[in-house]
A and B are shown apart, each in its own frame.
Chain A
Amino acid sequence: MPKPRSYQTEAIIIKKTKLGEADRILTFYTPHLGKIQAVAKGVRRPRSKMAGHLELLTHSLVSLARGRNLDTVTGCQTINSFLLLKSDLRLASYGLYATELVNQFTADHIENYPLFQLLLETMHRLCQSSNNELTLRYFELQLLNEVGYRPQLQQCVSCHLPLEPTTNSFSPSAGGVLCPNCSQSQPLAYPLSVNGLKVLRLLQSSDYSTAEKLKMNPELAGELEGLMRNYLKYLLEREIKSAAWLDSLKEQTKETALLQE
């Protein structure tokens, strides 16, 4: 049976690129079609009926018409505009970081419904939760679960013995934790504290309502952020562009906090 010429899907807009005079190529993450790209015609004109529904970090219902190369957006309606997320500099940056990771870790046209749910829920959580760092770490670990890079946190990846409650190491290239003995032969491993490992295990295998109750001190939060960042960077084999921006934003907040003291 031939595919219908037009179809409709929910989508989160995760990337946009300019095309020609007034068009855009948009990247959608959808529940059942995975990542798809489509052309939206005329959305850079001020009177475009679709532009507002096709902004980054928006959850929309889009109608598409099949094209030879790329599909074309024929209509759209916002489901959730995440206004709260968009009107806060920090939250918007967190949201963009999440969408960038989804974009980098997925290939076109591969359905991954749990990942769609995860992204959508993360955007909701960022709007509600006060502990955004925790929300992001939870998102990162769950994302790795979904895309097949779940790090080994239960036993040493090299000797397969259970991990002792001491400072172990995390090795991005080995994809998990190394015990002190094995880490000596691995130069590119980062120290991982006992509490750090506990938090990672909890985030990796529990649901969000449990993970949410966790409290991290700034030191621990910093350790885990650095560790996850290194692991993600190793897997992607490239810099995460929005992470650099998050860092500079954090640096600035620190400076202003110092000034106010």
Chain B
Amino acid sequence: MNEGFTPTTDAVSKLIQELNKLPGIGPKSAQRLAYYLLRTPEEQTKLLAETILSVKQKVTLCSVCFNVTESNPCAICGSDRRDRGKICIVEQPQDILALEHTKIYNGLYHVLHGAISPTEGVGTGDIKIDELMKRLQDGSINEVILATNTNLEGEQTAMYLNKLISPLGIRVTHLARGLPFGTELEYADDVTLTRALEGRQEF
């Protein structure tokens, strides 16, 4: 009956295909998004297309801290209001967003773009460790704060960095380990509770 008949035009199916490549978007979601875009006014889709393009064209990695940025060096590395003696090491650019949101930290950052993961084959050469060590050479840094994730890979990375950095005479600290705000004690795991007890503080 429907011989040779394709239910959608080529342009639409191409759009569905492309949307399908995005993380977390399955075939049905891709279809829904594609048909939504078809219905929206042209200005709006144009804006979306241009924004996507400009992200790719304008945004690069900061040559100092490897955060994503439009200017090089990035706003944090270039600012004269930040404490230039501290570097906070994070795994990914999103972590900076989370830390900056607290408005408490006033130092610089360094993004590793990953964590050491022996079973995934991610070694020291695959993340920005050499670049970090170069930054530490000029002697202006007096504290390195390790803010890698608290899972096994993050902890391994932190232990490895500590081994590299502490011989240089730079103070190495890591974020406190303990109970997240808003949780119930009875569900906490042994590692977290052990660390929380070890790191308990005067009231």
Which A positions have Cβ atoms within 8 angstroms of B? 15, 20-21, 46-47, 49, 51-53, 55-57, 78, 81, 83, 86-89, 92-93, 96-97, 99-100, 103, 239, 241-242, 244-246, 248, 256
Chain B, residue nearest A45 (CB):
B180
Q: Which residues of B contact A99 (CB under 8 A)?
A: 119
With contact pairs A93-B156, A96-B118 given, residues A78 and B190 touching in the complex (Cβ less than 8 Å): yes
Contact with A along B174-185 (1 / 0, CB 8 A): 000000101110
With contact pairs A47-B180, A57-B152, A89-B163 given, residues A81 and B119 touching in the complex (Cβ less than 8 Å): no
Q: Which residues of A contact B120 (CB under 8 A)?
A: 241
In the complex, A69→B187 CA distance in Å? Answer: 28
In the complex, A28→B182 CA distance in Å? Answer: 29
With contact pairs A86-B155, A87-B155 given, residues A100 and B118 touching in the complex (Cβ less than 8 Å): yes
B20 interface residue, CB < 8 Å from A? no
Chain B, residue nearest A19 (CB):
B24
Q: Which residues of A contact B159 (CB under 8 A)?
A: 87-89, 92
Q: Which residues of A contact B155 (CB under 8 A)?
A: 86-87, 92
Q: Which residues of A contact B163 (CB under 8 A)?
A: 89
**Shortest Cβ distance from residue B180 to the other chain A in the assembled complex, whole angstroms:** 5
In the complex, A92→B24 CA distance in Å? Answer: 32
User: Closest 3 CB pairs between A and B?
Assistant: A52-B189, A242-B118, A245-B118
Q: Are A46 and B180 in touch, CB under 8 angstroms? A: yes
**Shortest Cβ distance from residue B163 to the other chain A in the assembled complex, whole angstroms:** 7
Chain A, residue nearest B167 (CB):
A256
Q: Are A81 and B189 in touch, CB under 8 angstroms? A: yes
Beta-carbon contacts under 8 Å, B141-171 to A: 151-152, 155-156, 159-160, 163, 167
B124 interface residue, CB < 8 Å from A? yes
Which B positions have Cβ atoms within 8 angstroms of A? 23-24, 116, 118-121, 123-124, 151-152, 155-156, 159-160, 163, 167, 180, 182-184, 187-192, 194
With contact pairs A242-B118, A244-B123, A245-B123 given, residues A92 and B190 touching in the complex (Cβ less than 8 Å): no
In the complex, A131→B190 CA distance in Å? Answer: 27
Q: Which residues of B contact A88 (CB under 8 A)?
A: 159
Q: Are B118 and A97 in touch, CB under 8 angstroms? A: yes
A-B contact pairs, 23 of them (CB 8 A): A15-B119, A51-B151, A51-B189, A52-B190, A55-B151, A56-B152, A57-B152, A81-B189, A81-B191, A83-B190, A83-B191, A83-B194, A86-B152, A89-B159, A96-B118, A96-B119, A96-B152, A103-B119, A241-B120, A241-B121, A245-B116, A245-B123, A248-B123
Chain B, residue nearest A252 (CB):
B163
**Shortest Cβ distance from residue B60 to the other chain A in the assembled complex, whole angstroms:** 26
With contact pairs A83-B191, A92-B156 given, residues A47 and B24 touching in the complex (Cβ less than 8 Å): no
Q: Which residues of A contact B151 (CB under 8 A)?
A: 51, 55-56
Q: Which residues of B contact A100 (CB under 8 A)?
A: 118-119
**Shortest Cβ distance from residue B140 to the other chain A in the assembled complex, whole angstroms:** 24
Q: Are B118 and A93 in touch, CB under 8 angstroms? A: yes
Chain B, residue nearest A79 (CB):
B190
**Shortest Cβ distance from residue A57 to the other chain B in the assembled complex, whole angstroms:** 6
In the complex, A99→B152 CA distance in Å? Answer: 13
Q: Are A86 and B118 in touch, CB under 8 angstroms? A: no
Chain A, residue nearest B151 (CB):
A55
Chain A, residue nearest B159 (CB):
A89
In the complex, A143→B62 CA distance in Å? Answer: 47
Q: Are A241 and B119 in touch, CB under 8 angstroms? A: yes
**Shortest Cβ distance from residue A132 to the other chain B in the assembled complex, whole angstroms:** 15
In the complex, A100→B163 CA distance in Å? Answer: 25
With contact pairs A52-B190, A83-B194, A86-B191 given, residues A242 and B119 touching in the complex (Cβ less than 8 Å): yes
